[in-house]
């Protein structure tokens, strides 16, 4: 069963956000005050508390809330539809790629471990020999810890002059308990893998997404964004204002992703036919657990009822990537000038992102800083939409 009529559920989502795009419930205003009153530097206690209440509530009740969904999710025929799926060799990404391929889609597994991906395709083929035709799946190398690799991947795909119908930015990291680490590009690893690299990939693939219009960019996000805060002047968390923790790195990166996605959603004209969606998989037992302390890993195994497996966790992303209602829902949000892009919950219903997600002033700052960090000019999206070429600082070549 699918998630129901998105349009009918729009009113409920708006009511959760008080319908004004500011999310100012509980006596707090998510909008940053005027210049004379200073810049917002952290979440308020009420915002932070509500965020954690939402996380605990999702953990306890996600299985009940999603009990109406089939497992696996029923997909429409996807013959002729092309998908790029990052992080497709494990966890949710593996399930997304497998199910899309079995439904007839042309699936590009964008991964670091290319040999493993080839082996997975062969296994899927062997396990489903009754299909009677080879799966339309292929492998391309992509390392999100290298922005040069992102540019190389995008250039290779764009050079095909083929349409891309859906980009699924699934790959992510959550190195719980680990010290702060930086990529060779100089960026904090959570921020680069979970936000900066997917943002660069999405923008660079706009020419192919235009050829595939109507098309979609689907970002796998997390309820953890509700306890994140992004300071555009300290996205690397190196200023010393706050002590780094992996939880902070992860939640901040997921909030940054929603903010950038929302600004991209607003920047792309409706006639371009490219929709931007963030999907929350729920609390899922995947390979993220390999980074958890042993005690927490043991707890994961003791409470399997509450936690989704990878197949269950893939449903919201598959829904966002394939359900025919999604473009209409995105168009409705755009027509109402809603401050946040479409967000789909683990139960395949619309969800309202955090209060801070609705803060357009900080979202604009994150948008500008992100483009600077990934080496693109401020007008990159506009130029791509108009069919012009754009020079990226990474990759040492022109991205078209």
Which residue blocks in the chain are alpha helix, DSSP H?
6-16, 45-65, 91-102, 114-127, 147-158, 189-191, 197-204, 206-211, 246-267, 294-302, 310-313, 315-322, 326-335, 360-373, 380-385
Token digits for 73? 């999710």
- Number of neighbours of residue 125 by Cβ within 10 angstroms: 16
Q: Which residue has the tokens 């500011």?
A: 22
Tracing tokens 């235009």 back to the chain, one arrives at: 210
SS3 316: helix
Query: 217 with 202: CB under 8 angstroms?
Result: yes
Q: Is the peptide bond before 86 cis (omega within 30 degrees of 0)?
A: no
In terms of DSSP H, where are the helices of 216-358?
246-267, 294-302, 310-313, 315-322, 326-335
> Could you tell me the CA-to-CA distances from 232 to 43, 46, 97, 267 in Å, in that order?
14, 22, 33, 19
85 bridge partner residues: 109, 168
Q: Tokens 């479409």 label which residue?
A: 342
Bridge partners of residue 275, in order along the sequence: 216
The residues that bridge with 390 in the sheet, in sequence order, are: 399
How many angstroms separate the CA atoms of 83 and 166, rounded? Answer: 5
Structure tokens belonging to residue 188: 């904090």
Residue 400 to residue 240: CA distance in whole angstroms: 39
Which of 45, 158, 52 shows the shortest CA–CA distance to 108? 158
Q: How is residue 386 written in tokens?
A: 């108009």
Query: What positions carry a catalytic annotation?
Result: 250
């Amino acid at each position: 069963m699918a998630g129901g009529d998105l349009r009918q559920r729009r009113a409920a989502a708006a009511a959760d956000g008080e319908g004004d795009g500011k999310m100012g419930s509980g006596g707090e205003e998510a909008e940053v005050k005027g210049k004379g009153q200073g810049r917002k530097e952290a979440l308020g206690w009420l915002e932070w508390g509500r965020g954690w209440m939402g996380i605990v509530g999702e953990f306890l009740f996600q299985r009940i809330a999603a009990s109406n969904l089939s497992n696996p999710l029923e997909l429409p025929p996807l013959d002729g539809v092309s998908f790029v799926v990052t992080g497709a060799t494990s966890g949710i990404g593996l399930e997304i790629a497998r199910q899309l391929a079995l439904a007839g889609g042309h699936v590009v597994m964008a991964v670091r471990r290319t040999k493993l991906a080839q082996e997975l395709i062969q296994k899927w083929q062997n396990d489903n020999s009754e299909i009677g035709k080879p799966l339309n799946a292929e492998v391309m190398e992509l390392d999100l810890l290298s922005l040069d690799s992102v540019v190389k991947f995008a250039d290779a795909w764009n050079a095909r002059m083929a349409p891309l119908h859906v980009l699924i930015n699934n790959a992510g990291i959550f190195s719980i308990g680990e010290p702060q680490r930086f990529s060779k590009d100089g960026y904090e690893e959570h921020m680069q893998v979970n936000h900066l690299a997917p943002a660069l990939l999405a923008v660079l693939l706009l020419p192919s997404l235009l050829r595939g219009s109507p098309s979609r960019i689907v970002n796998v996000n997390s309820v953890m964004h509700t306890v994140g805060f992004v300071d555009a002047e300290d996205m690397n968390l190196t200023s010393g204002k706050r002590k780094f923790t992996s939880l902070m790195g992860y939640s901040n990166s997921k909030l940054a992703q929603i903010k950038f996605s929302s600004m991209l959603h607003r920047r792309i004209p409706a006639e371009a036919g490219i929709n931007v969606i963030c999907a929350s998989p729920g609390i899922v037992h995947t390979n993220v657990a390999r980074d958890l302390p042993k005690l927490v890993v043991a707890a994961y195994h003791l409470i399997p009822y509450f936690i989704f497996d990878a197949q269950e966790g893939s449903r919201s992303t598959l829904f966002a990537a394939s359900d025919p209602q999604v473009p209409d829902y995105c168009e409705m949000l755009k027509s109402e000038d809603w401050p946040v892009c479409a967000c789909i919950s683990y139960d395949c219903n619309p969800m309202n992102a955090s209060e801070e997600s609705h803060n357009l002033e900080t979202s604009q700052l994150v948008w500008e800083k992100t483009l600077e960090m990934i080496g693109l000019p401020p007008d990159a999206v506009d130029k791509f939409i108009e069919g012009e070429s754009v020079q990226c600082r990474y990759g040492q070549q022109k991205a078209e």
